Structure 1
Amino acid sequence: MNAYYSTLSGWIIPVTRAIKALDLDPVETLKRFDIDPAEVNNPEGRICVESLGNLFTYCNKYSGARNFNIEVAKCFHPSILHALGYAVQSAFCLQEALERVSQYKRVVSNCSNMEAYEMRDHLVVELVVYRYTDSGRLVLSADLIESFLATLVQLSRGLVGGDLNPVKIEFTFDRSSDACPTAMEFFNCPIEYGCERNAVLLDLNQAKERAFGNNPAINQMHIELLNQFMTRVDRTNLTYLIESKILDELPVGAPSQADVAKHLGYSLRNLQRKLSEQGTCYKDILDNTRKRITLNYIKQPHMSISEIGYLVGFSNVANFNRAFRRWEGCAPGEYRTKYLSTNDMVEHIQSRV
């Protein structure tokens, strides 16, 4: 029997708006594919991705070509992703926002993994779709894959400006026999089919530019909410569970791996083995957690450098400074000065006017 693959019920909002654009009854259309419209009122509700894929197929046939895929993306707003959406909107830059989506992709669905990585002058955002164990068929249909990549483009434009265009779109599936001018116009870049990956390629420099909506204090708050959510919905992923424990303990000192193992009900050796199976270790999780929190704190001018070091579990400023240089190649004060530079922000704003 296939595992139950699902996605966040918030997708009902853009799907409903896209259905209305076809002059179809959204409630009847959703129910036709066993999707309960009332699930949209449940912040942690899920809908069956198989049903969603069937709905997309139906609506695309009704509209012609693949217009529905793009219409759903156009109707997307980050708020449908709840805490993840707000964390994305308050990220420092587009690259950080997309890395956050990649990190917390499980919030959105359990159908795929997402990776955001640099490759030469590009930021590559790749969607790695899972397969059903019994048939080997991809969990996500070509329609859903195209719509999701279009949604990533829509999200990116909302964060850095509507003039953003991808460098290229890559799909693993073959080109449809039906041309879709709507998709070509929306992406406004080369689209390649039969590739080795499903991916959006963005200009790396543009992805690193400071976003208008960045707010480190709000960002940190929503990341903490995300970690709490992940510990509820994915008890198999030790990284989330360990990071949640680290966040609780850091202000009074970084917890030892032995303490974390005891908290989670594991022996130290068993925890080490399980983390190794997931391709990580406690030291890396602790270091990455400290770095992420530090980069949020350092952007808040009311917090002193020594206070930040204390809050992320360092016993003295010297140790904190050494760790920060290892992370960013400069002292904390230098990083803050660059971040808060009025001239940098003025240039950024002028480049967007």
Structure 2
Amino acid sequence: MNAYYSTLSGWLIPITRAMKTLDIEPIETLERFGISPSIVNDPEGRVCVQSLGNLFAYCNNKVGGRAFNIEVACSFHPSVLHALGYAVQSAYSLQEALERVAQYKRVVSNCCNMYAFEEGEDDFVADLEVYQYADSGRGVLTPHMIEAFLATLVQLSRDIVGRDFNPVKIQYNFEPIGADCDVASAFFDCPIEYGCDRNAVVMDAEVVRAQSISSNPAINEMHLEMLNKFMCRVDKTNLSFQIENRIVEELPLGAPSQADVAKQLGLSLRNLQRKLNDQGTCYKDILDNTRKRLTMNYIRQPHMSISEIGYLVGFSNVANFNRAFRRWEGCAPGEYRHRYLSSNTLAEACRH
């Protein structure tokens, strides 16, 4: 029997908007494929992906070509992704935003993995690894849905770095869907490659790394706290989110030990270690990553002193904090802050 693959009900917002734009009756069409229109009112609701795949095929057939895929992306707003959307909007850079989507992809769907990484010196890649049905080997996401998602990543990128943003190229692991689609070509405005070994958006690494004008470290930290709590509810099998929440709560009093966190979660130390090992991580890495994430948000807030930040992320003295920061960023925290504040100029804002 196939696993139940689903996606966040918020996707119905851009889907129904796209239907209206293309003169497809939304309510009747959703019900035709067994999707209750009222589920959009539940921000934590889920929709069957197989039903959505059938809906995408129907809507594209109605309008011809692949225009529906692109219209869904054009109708996208980050709020569709719940707390993840707001955390992405306030991220420091497009790179940070895409890495966050990859990290918290289970907010969006349990149908795929997403990887965000630098490739060579010039490229940054958002790579979508689609799961397959166990009985047939068929991809859980259809080519239409893959295109809609990659187009949504491009739309999201334009919201963050500017409307003139274009990818370096789009890569699909399937052959062309029907005839050439002028709508898709015009939207991506870059080479589209088919029959590749991945589904990916390839971007200019320099553009991706640049500070976003919408970055807001204080608001971003609030959104991340909301996001972790949301993840603890929707993905109870992922122990990392629960541990990170405990660490965040305890850090101002000093870094909690692994044994303390295990006890708070009702687990033995050995059981906690085994579960984390099964998930490909360990307590030390979660603690270090959590400290770094908090630090990078705090360091970008000028009103917070370096010593205060060190205290808030659980270091007993500034020297230990400085050593950790150099390991993370290759420079002292004061030097990083100076560079950050210097780069946040009116000229940089105008560029976006």
- TM-score, normalised relative to structure 1: 0.97
Distance 1:290 1:24 in 2: 49
Q: CA deviation at 1:134?
A: 2.0
Q: CA deviation at 1:315?
A: 0.7
- The correspondence of residues 184-203 of structure 1 with structure 2, limited to 5 A, is 184-203=185-204
- The correspondence of residues 24-103 of structure 1 with structure 2, limited to 5 A, is 24-103=24-103
What SS is found at the alignment partner of 1:132? coil
Distance 2:139 2:24 in 1: 28
Q: CA deviation at 1:139?
A: 0.7
- The Cα offsets for residues 225-252 of structure 1, whole Å up to 9 and x where unpaired, read as 1100111111111111111111111111
Aligned to 1:249: 250
Q: 8 Å contact 2:114–2:127 — kept in the other structure?
A: yes
Aligned to 1:304: 305
- The correspondence of residues 313-324 of structure 1 with structure 2, limited to 5 A, is 313-324=314-325
- The Cα offsets for residues 34-55 of structure 1, whole Å up to 9 and x where unpaired, read as 1111111111111111111100
Q: CA deviation at 1:344?
A: 4.6
Distance 1:176 1:291 in 2: 43
Aligned to 2:345: 345
- The Cα offsets for residues 291-336 of structure 1, whole Å up to 9 and x where unpaired, read as 0000000111111111111110111111111100110011111111
Counterpart check, 1:20 vs 2:20: yes
Aligned to 1:237: 238
Aligned to 1:177: 178
Q: Tell me the amino acid that sits aligned with residue 172 of structure 1.
A: N
Distance 1:345 1:151 in 2: 29
- Structure 1, 158-167 or 275-284: larger mean CA deviation: 275-284
- TM-score, normalised relative to structure 2: 0.98
Distance 1:279 1:29 in 2: 42
- The correspondence of residues 266-281 of structure 1 with structure 2, limited to 5 A, is 266-281=267-282
What SS is found at the alignment partner of 2:345? helix
Q: CA deviation at 1:348?
A: 1.3
What SS is found at the alignment partner of 1:165? coil
Q: CA deviation at 1:18?
A: 0.8
Distance 1:200 1:299 in 2: 29
- The Cα offsets for residues 83-116 of structure 1, whole Å up to 9 and x where unpaired, read as 1111111001100011111111110111111110
Q: Tell me the amino acid that sits aligned with residue 202 of structure 2.
A: L
Distance 1:151 1:170 in 2: 14
Distance 1:139 1:265 in 2: 35
What SS is found at the alignment partner of 2:256? coil
Aligned to 1:164: 165
Distance 1:274 1:27 in 2: 44
| Number of residue-to-residue matches in the alignment | 351
Aligned to 2:3: 3
Q: Tell me the amino acid that sits aligned with residue 179 of structure 2.
A: D
Q: 8 Å contact 2:95–2:208 — kept in the other structure?
A: yes
- The Cα offsets for residues 228-283 of structure 1, whole Å up to 9 and x where unpaired, read as 01111111111111111111111111110111122222221222222122211111
Distance 1:184 1:307 in 2: 50
Give the fraction of aligned pairs with identical amino acids, expressed as a percent. Answer: 69
Aligned to 2:335: 334
Q: CA deviation at 1:178?
A: 1.6
Q: Tell me the amino acid that sits aligned with residue 94 of structure 1.
A: L
Q: 8 Å contact 2:83–2:224 — kept in the other structure?
A: yes
Q: Which runs of 5+ in 1 are unaligned?
A: none
Distance 2:67 2:315 in 1: 53
What SS is found at the alignment partner of 1:196? coil
Counterpart check, 1:292 vs 2:293: yes
Distance 1:23 1:314 in 2: 59
- Structure 1, 132-141 or 99-108: larger mean CA deviation: 132-141
- Structure 1, 231-240 or 290-299: larger mean CA deviation: 231-240
Distance 2:188 2:78 in 1: 19
What SS is found at the alignment partner of 2:47? strand
Distance 2:345 2:160 in 1: 15
Distance 1:251 1:196 in 2: 46
Structure 1 outlier segments of 4+, above 6 Å: none
- Structure 1, 36-45 or 257-266: larger mean CA deviation: 257-266
What SS is found at the alignment partner of 2:273? helix
Distance 2:177 2:15 in 1: 22
Q: 8 Å contact 2:24–2:59 — kept in the other structure?
A: no
Q: CA deviation at 1:345?
A: 2.1
- Structure 1, 46-55 or 273-282: larger mean CA deviation: 273-282
Q: Tell me the amino acid that sits aligned with residue 223 of structure 1.
A: L
Counterpart check, 1:129 vs 2:130: yes
Distance 1:280 1:79 in 2: 30
Distance 2:178 2:64 in 1: 12
- Structure 1, 259-268 or 235-244: larger mean CA deviation: 259-268
Q: Tell me the amino acid that sits aligned with residue 8 of structure 1.
A: L
- Structure 1, 129-138 or 305-314: larger mean CA deviation: 129-138
Q: 8 Å contact 2:92–2:211 — kept in the other structure?
A: yes
